[in-house]
Structure 1
């Protein structure tokens, strides 16, 4: 697909919108949508790859959390000094997206390898975010690896499900756009 500033802005805008909808849980009274954060960073790395976009999406996530906690009364239980472990967690997803784009491409035959890449990146990301929270967040007295493993086993499957769901949705949208707008298939010009 053609990569240009307009394309990058459109992708960033779409990812920001779905993050706003799912991260704030604004639709929770109607339907609970799984958080798109990890998938959003993977897709951003795959399609945009600009470091400034990573920073912008991270700042958006942070702003959403601050507003939801400060103004809308959501629990601040997860908002600890370990919050900054989200930088390497999201960075893992973004770098995995970049790696996938550069080494696997946008071919249908690459989908199984991309699914494995998303799964591995999600696990590493979960280790950073959940592990950081467990070991550095100050919410657990005497954290141990034995205490962390059941938490990982409990939360990783739903995180992986959400990440694969949203990444698959993004892949489907990209495929539909490339069929509907063949000029987008002109190749990566970045």
Structure 2
């Protein structure tokens, strides 16, 4: 397996930049962009197999949250001991991306199966992150399954649309770049 470190660093840098812009809500005064976190971890898993990249992107997300809460006055309501449930939630997305790259590859024929995989991974990630917050975060007096299910109905659809949209944008960008620079398709194969 030959790894193209330059390609992987470029992918990581772009994902970090997009996450910085959307997660920090730095453009909130002008335009609200949906969070790219789940899509970023899926795309990272697809293109960058190194576990260190997963850790680095998670730490970036954590650092962004600490800065926007501590220095820019964003609400700390979601910053609870359950925050660490984001590790398995993002891990699901990263592993789904790795699985997609290994088993499906970057072909047009793989898109329907990859979309189903992405939907399932997003749902599992939502269960882990929202479920962790609801049941372990200490913000709800008596958390119950009956109380949690409506939250899935409320929060999963916009999360899914954002994840599908950002992942689709990443796939389109990679396809366009592959047409311009065919050697990138070789970089993606391992």
TM-score greater than 0.5 by the shorter chain: yes
* Residue pairs, 1:13-162, within 5 angstroms: 13-162=13-162
Q: Residue 189 of structure 1: CA displacement?
A: 5.4
Greater shift in the superposed pair: 151-160 or 176-185:
176-185
Q: 2: CA distance between counterparts of 1:25 and 1:68? A: 9
Q: Deviations 1:35-89 (Å, cap 9, x if unpaired)?
A: 0000000000001111000000000000000000000000000000000000000
Do 2:69 and 2:76's aligned partners in 1 also have CA atoms closer than 8 Å? yes
Q: Residue 184 of structure 1: CA displacement?
A: 1.8
Q: 2: CA distance between counterparts of 1:114 and 1:16? A: 23
Alignment gaps of 5+ in structure 1: none
Q: Residue 186 of structure 1: CA displacement?
A: 2.9
Greater shift in the superposed pair: 176-185 or 46-55:
176-185
Q: 2: CA distance between counterparts of 1:67 and 1:75? A: 11
RMSD: 1.1
Q: 2: CA distance between counterparts of 1:89 and 1:185? A: 29
Change over 3 Å in CA distance of 1:88–1:49 after alignment to 2: same
Instruction: Give the TM-score taking structure 1 as reference length.
Output: 0.97
Do 1:86 and 1:128's aligned partners in 2 also have CA atoms closer than 8 Å? yes
Alignment gaps of 5+ in structure 2: none
Q: 2: CA distance between counterparts of 1:101 and 1:161? A: 21
Do 1:36 and 1:162's aligned partners in 2 also have CA atoms closer than 8 Å? yes
Q: 1: CA distance between counterparts of 2:27 and 2:187? A: 37
Aligned residues: 189
Instruction: Give the TM-score taking structure 2 as reference length.
Output: 0.97
Q: Deviations 1:122-173 (Å, cap 9, x if unpaired)?
A: 0000000000000000000110000000001000000000000000000000
